[in-house]
A and B are shown apart, each in its own frame.
Chain A
């Protein structure tokens, strides 16, 4: 075991982690621990853009953006946080441009902007051009630009270091414990401040746009240390994933004029969202697609998908604005988007919930108090700027605004305090976890349990939910968690043991899937991405509050989930009926 000492440790090297690292490296001695090489993160898969009211192509202001964000989140958004995000969005985009990001440009040479789902002029009047973009590779460009600037600032990366535990002593952050993939060695990183920026948890669904690596590692280990997880029942299903594969096709495709059609060729979104049509918010579009499918208007021999139609757009426009997604259609489906519509279905995309933080990125240990020295930003966190449904492009905004804030706050905090003493045997828990898996003589397979988990989640906890399906999910997950205790791996070695890694990741997914299902079962209303057929309306009286889920450990070691609730911060917008 090795022990390292840094002022600030950042866990994760995607957009949020690298944005934080650029700030904290200039202020404190910082280490970035990442289970992947930095540019492998899923920020790079984001396509359509990052919204900011630059007003480069038409009138816009940050207050309209805030309203859209609050409305998009079905009034579960903390409005003070949304105001900060939408105000700071403008500088966040300009910061990236100054760092070198190659945005697509207007004829005047300014950053170009395009329409995106749920983003409107003057509180819902009509779609507005707000999304700053670089073709359909905005996430790729952000990730590359941030990595380039990390190189410039000499950020110290520990690549393929998998963080498996958070060390808290006397209520204060003391560091993290990591497993080095190349060698199997365990490393303790003592730190004054720790920033979790480890991304989402979409891999508990089968049809998902998420990378194999998005397994909720940060959420799970914080949760196991007794800290709450907020609003985990709110998961976004992106309307346009490639049929059966789940690969994301950007909303920017509809921003450029793409149309959703059913088997009759009908532009069905006109019936569901008369004003915003195909650019209604994602939850609305995804439900509409499933309604079409359920009512027999789906496409294909099994009627299990609909079409994203780009065939009326000029090929030059597709080449210039949507080159990657048209290539995906060619590569993975063998079709030509110039002339054929693309078969799509909703795909599990984004966790609105996560580790609760305040607007400085400080992690909450209950409704009001923070854990000194602990921060989170990006998809792993819940500020909450996304509420019950995130607007398209606001995730790239979130990682830049709150990644920067968390990086600054963590570094400044580190300057003011001494190290918290490491607990006795700091690596004990991780050593036991790793040894337990390596030495297990069990009979259960990681892949089999994961497959059953994903199937149950897709069947029971996706776009449409009921009390019965969620109870089925809870029961399935409980059974799978039992079987997981008897899981075994084949690779017993030290070197690049990805077999072991996948087993640990599955443990995280199981814990978080349970939190999602239990939180969703308790929320007897429909709001944003959480739709209960047995409670189809929003219930502001009972449920306009955030879910806070805690793991309780009984004396005999058995765990259970305790749910609590936290009030929503409302500043200027009172809840209204949500229409697009």
Chain B
């Protein structure tokens, strides 16, 4: 079998294999908040030597492990799957573990603060309970009637594809906490809950769409969406969130899904 790519390296592969030697000095500016210490938040600068190809999460870890153990944030998988570390980096919602320093202009101070619209409890940690409550309110589980089949329910690849985008959600809250409507009205379900409703409304096996649509027809439901596309831009999984919300709106009008 021919293996041209192994013999002839692209510039990108060469860069990947040669990297890791050039350290730069990065300033990370973090909005710290600990009500045990002080009632108001305060911006604190940290300087550290980093490889620009490292993640923002690596920078936070380096600060916590080497400079200031009181810095507090959530993290787990460190590669964009678990949804723990959504935060505002240079004013935009991102996952710290999926954002490389070189992509957020490390020449200038990198600002990091908690996501907006949810109560900050300490540093970058927010109260996630209202977020998960909205998720629970849309009945995010398969609803079926009648007897269960012995084997699997059949679903064509095409029907499976219909809701593929919204199955990718990792419940990180980057979308919901980027939404200006949610900032002003904490009662609004928010994009993430609607995404998870979409995931079932358009699943050919599900029979609970009518119930979910009624819930989302509520005053605090999909109609609050002002189509600003912040959510789609914020989604670290690349879900077309605004499109999903539009599809739910359309299903409400046409009752077709």
Contact = CB atoms under 8 A, between A and B. Distances in A.
Interface of A: 36-37, 39-42, 44-45, 93-94, 97-100, 102-111, 134, 137, 140-141, 144, 148-149, 151-152, 159, 182, 211-213, 244-245, 247, 259, 261, 263-265, 267, 299-301, 307, 309, 311-312, 324, 328, 331-336, 339-341, 343, 445-447, 489-491, 493-499
Q: Which bucket holds chain B's interface residue count?
A: 35 or more
Contact of A151 (B20, B98, B140): B140
Contacts, number: 195
B187 interface: no
B100 interface: yes
Contact of B152 (A94, A149, A151, A446): A94
A331 B98 CA distance: 7
A336 B10 contact: yes
Interface in B1-39: 1, 3, 5-7, 9-10, 12-13, 15-18, 20, 34-37
Given A301-B17, A490-B69, A109 B82 contact: no
- Best-surrounded residue of A148, A301, A311, A445 (most CB of chain B within 10 A): A148
Given A94-B151, A102-B167, A104-B160, A335 B82 contact: no
B1 A447 contact: no
B136 A335 contact: no
B250 interface: no
B80 A495 contact: no
Interface in B47-102: 53, 64-66, 68-70, 72-84, 98, 100
Q: Which 5 A-B pairs have the closest CB atoms?
A: A100-B142, A447-B65, A490-B69, A265-B3, A109-B154
Nearest to B148: A98
A328 B79 contact: yes
A212 B3 contact: no
B249 interface: no
Contact of A40 (B12, B82, B125, B157): B82
A561 to B, nearest CB: 29
Contacts of B113: none
A215 to B, nearest CB: 11
B198 interface: no
A496 B79 contact: no
Nearest to B16: A333
B176 to A, nearest CB: 15
7 contacts: A45-B79, A102-B203, A212-B77, A309-B3, A331-B98, A491-B69, A496-B123
A307 B76 contact: no
Nearest to A307: B6
Nearest to A490: B69
A212 B74 CA distance: 10
A410 to B, nearest CB: 23
Given A44-B81, A211-B77, A341-B5, A148 B140 contact: yes
B153 A40 contact: no
Interface string B193-227: 00000001001011000000000000000000000
A213 B79 CA distance: 13
B68 to A, nearest CB: 7
B156 A494 contact: no
B171 interface: yes
B5 A311 contact: yes
A463 B194 CA distance: 46
